[in-house]
Chains A and B, each alone.
Chain A
């Protein structure tokens, strides 16, 4: 039972390079999320997808793009990485079904931009 799987787990980029963080869930959840976690700032929402075919900006979308490839997969792309994007990135998925509502998180991607 994999849950939410993120790849890669670690990545070092040079300023200006691009990369895509991959996320897949096997729980048939409708909603998926990308967060970044920085010390003292908690988890800040970058983008989310309430359902397949939709994406919306969160609190800190600048410098990122997302693709909801299908119901299972939600990728995050950095087109031109900057040192300010050094962070730990978490993907999550959720189903909003009343009392059973719960978000599940991946193990995170630690990204360093030099």
Chain B
């Protein structure tokens, strides 16, 4: 069955430290891949997306993600975290042929001073 997994429920990181959030998918072919962020009490905002081409994708707010076909992964990274990055992050996947956008369970990021 098709699925998207975010193995880490909660991550705590110090301000200024690097951050990496994991996302793995199980689809027959390479899907469209997205990362969204949700600040407390807010809707979802797109950080970045991958369709094809360069496997390292740059997004907004200093985030980047790397698509690794061999590992079926699309991990999100930020070199230096700011307190405003505290939020919930969702990986999302679409199988390219059914317009059905599915989300992982999310990773909550806490930033400590």
Contact = CB atoms under 8 A, between A and B. Distances in A.
Contact of B101 (A40, A45, A56, A107): A45
Interface string A92-114: 10101011011101111000000
B43 A101 contact: no
Interface of B: 6, 9, 32, 34, 42-44, 46, 49, 51, 90, 92, 94, 98-106
Contact of B51 (A40, A42, A59, A101): A101
Given A90-B43, A98-B51, A102-B49, A40 B9 contact: yes
Nearest to B107: A42
A42 B35 CA distance: 13
Given A40-B9, A98-B51, A101-B51, A35 B103 contact: yes
A51 B98 CA distance: 11
Interface of A: 30-31, 33, 35, 40-45, 48, 50-51, 56, 58-59, 90, 92, 94, 96, 98-99, 101-103, 105-108
A33 B106 CA distance: 18
Nearest to A30: B99
B81 to A, nearest CB: 22
Contacts of A51: 99
B49 A101 contact: yes
A3 to B, nearest CB: 9
B44 to A, nearest CB: 4
A105 B100 contact: no
A43 B43 CA distance: 11
A99 B94 CA distance: 13
Nearest to A43: B103
Given A101-B49, A101-B51, A42 B43 contact: no
B52 to A, nearest CB: 8
Given A40-B9, A42-B106, A101-B51, A58 B100 contact: yes
Contacts of B94: 96, 101
